[in-house]
Amino acid sequence: MKDWPVLLDKIRFNTHKYSRYTQLATLGILLVSLTVAVVLVMKPKGKFNIAPKAFNEKTTSSLVGIFGVVPVDEFDLVQVKQMLDNPAVSGIAVRMRWHDLQPLSEAEIDFTVIDQIVSEAKPRSKNVSLILVPGFYSPRWLIDRLDPCEPYIANHEAFPGSCGRADFDIDYGGGSGGNEKSPLPIPWNETYLASWKTFLRKVADRYNPNPTVVSVAVAGPTSMSVEMSLPGDAAEDLAKWKDILRLYYQADDPRRDSNLVVIEKWREMIDFYDQIFTNKTIVVTRGAGLLKFIARDEDPNSLDPRHPQEAKEMIINYFIQKPYSHNLKANQTSGLKACRGFEGGIIGVKKSTLDGQIGGAQFNTSATSNPVTMGCQDRNYCTQSGKNELKKLCQLDPSLHPCCSLSAEQAVRNVLQEYFDETRVGDNYGGVTGIYSLHYLQLYAKDILFTNTNPQVQEILNQVKTDLEMMVAPLGSSPAPTLTPTPTPSLTPTPIPTSTPTPLPTLTPTPTPTLAPTPTPTLTPTPTPIPILGDIDKNGKVDIFDYNLLLENFAWKGNPGENIADLDTDGDVDILDYNLLLENFGKQ
């Protein structure tokens, strides 16, 4: 087996494997003990959870609430206005393909659609997110500049090759479902990258001064979206990628048989977006995975760039650790369904919020238009093949499975249950209340327009907006100042033990002995209760509710004693207050 740490170091990669469970900074043995107590109290489905970093003035983003997704091929200005007028909607997520914005030449960009949406959002005090997609949707003028790889492959040519595009199937989205393959630029081809970066600089120049545009999604090596996804599931596709890599890299180069170059270019684009954009939230979107050079993890103690999910995790780890100087950072999954609760998707996003990341998700498709496949919680039908099987089952006889009779409203509820499960508001949606925070949710236009005429779903989304805003704003904090992000200091993570937690012993108060009567009894005044340090909510004990209050106010700054969570009255709610609460946890 190759020594991946040594090979990765050659191209400046850190291959240290961070815990699968995202970790908060080291708070000592007391933090681990309190974590066990929190797990026991909240009953989070047997998973270990740890305390989140509270959002403060350094991590306050306008990417909060519900955003309606508007694909450019479905653009309708009347519908955009109807979505923006919905009280539950905080903004619009504009998903546009590169070739629609720059169809004719590198010299011209058509910003008309984006500008129209921005002009409608601004007077309503609502926001706009940009999702700009290259890959298959690169302009024709660029595609024509790139040499096709197939002739090189057919002639069995080897390194060095200079091809810039290859034909693959579009698995979903625009252009999918046809019999013809489509040209995809090779993501590490320098001609392609130079044109993509030039385009992005012009986008940044136009919208950096505009506060209505609050976020931009990173598009590194991708194909059909801004997700970490390349066509490679089919054996012939993977074989073609291997042939292309052989054209680019010599036999002894580790990039030849792994996702290393894909990781390298994602990392490059993560850096680039922070360099050109200012005062935005930069979003990295998880995806279905990258190229599968090995079927399963051979070493559970290290990340292997040959494995698609672990390659994706390496990219996410880099993004989380990378200090941004001009922008904030958000982590997102775009495949949210009622049956999709897995580590690489929404669970991973939730855990990233413990590292100060803004967390969000996008519905996989419209839940109100596809209630059976979106709302079904049966994980046996969660894959693409399972979804098709469920559709056939329901067509044959709807009584064969409960999911066949799901209403649009119930489908929305089921997806939201998965989304909010184990967050601070999980029980509001039929899930479990935990310690995670989420901050925004992207719904398709069809769902928002359906909501406009459905009071039940409208009520649900009103609650969603309220809860998302609540999970961002700490209790008792002052309004966030103008966005000036500062890198959060990196603290050393402490692994959470994987053994079964031992329940904390129940505290049994010592009974007060009865006073023996005296010949001349005197009334003993009731003693004034002595306040317990850490009893923030003044209910007579230091418990999980005080713990949550401290977390919600963590990083607050002001006058000494002004904040109820400022236990040491030094004007800051910080690690010292946290330690005081830990020391007194359980006292009553």
What Å distances lie between residue 520 and 374, 468, 514, 517, 525, CA to CA?
77, 63, 16, 8, 16
Express each pLDDT in 396-431 by its tens digit.
999 999 999 999 999 999 999 999 999 999 999 999
**Close Cβ partners of 362 (under 8 Å, ≥ 6 residues apart):** 69, 93, 332, 333, 334, 335, 336, 441, 442, 443
Q: What are phi and psi of 333, to 5 degrees?
A: -120, 145
CA 40 to chain centre: 26
Q: Are 488 and 53 in contact (CB under 8 A)?
A: yes
- The residue whose two tokens read 């997700």 is 227
pLDDT at 315: 96
Collapse the DSSP code of 67 into the 3-class scheme (helix H, G, I; strand E, B; otherwise coil) and give the result.
Answer: strand
The model carries a pTM of 0.73
pLDDT at 172: 61
What sign results for the dihedral spanned by CA atoms 407, 409, 415, 421?
negative
When mean pLDDT is compared across 53-62, 346-355, 496-505, the lowest value belongs to: 496-505
pLDDT at 498: 36
Q: Which domains does the chain have, with CATH numbers?
A: 4-140+187-369+407-472 (3.20.20.150), 508-588 (1.10.1330.10)
Express each pLDDT in 158-204 by its tens digit.
777 779 999 998 876 555 555 578 999 999 999 999 999 999 999 99
Q: Sort 559 into a burial class: Cβ within 10 Å, 0-12 / 13-18 / 19+.
A: exposed
CA distance 242 to 66: 41
pLDDT at 496: 30
165-168 and 182-185 as β-strands: parallel, antiparallel, unpaired?
A: antiparallel
CA distance 283 to 217: 4
Q: Are 27 and 578 in contact (CB under 8 A)?
A: yes
pLDDT at 138: 98
Express each pLDDT in 263-277 by its tens digit.
999 999 999 999 999
The arithmetic mean of pLDDT across residues 276-283, rounded, is 97
- The residue whose two tokens read 């209910």 is 539
pLDDT at 521: 41
pLDDT at 386: 87
**Close Cβ partners of 448 (under 8 Å, ≥ 6 residues apart):** 66, 68, 82, 83, 86, 89
Express each pLDDT in 501-510 by its tens digit.
333 333 334 3
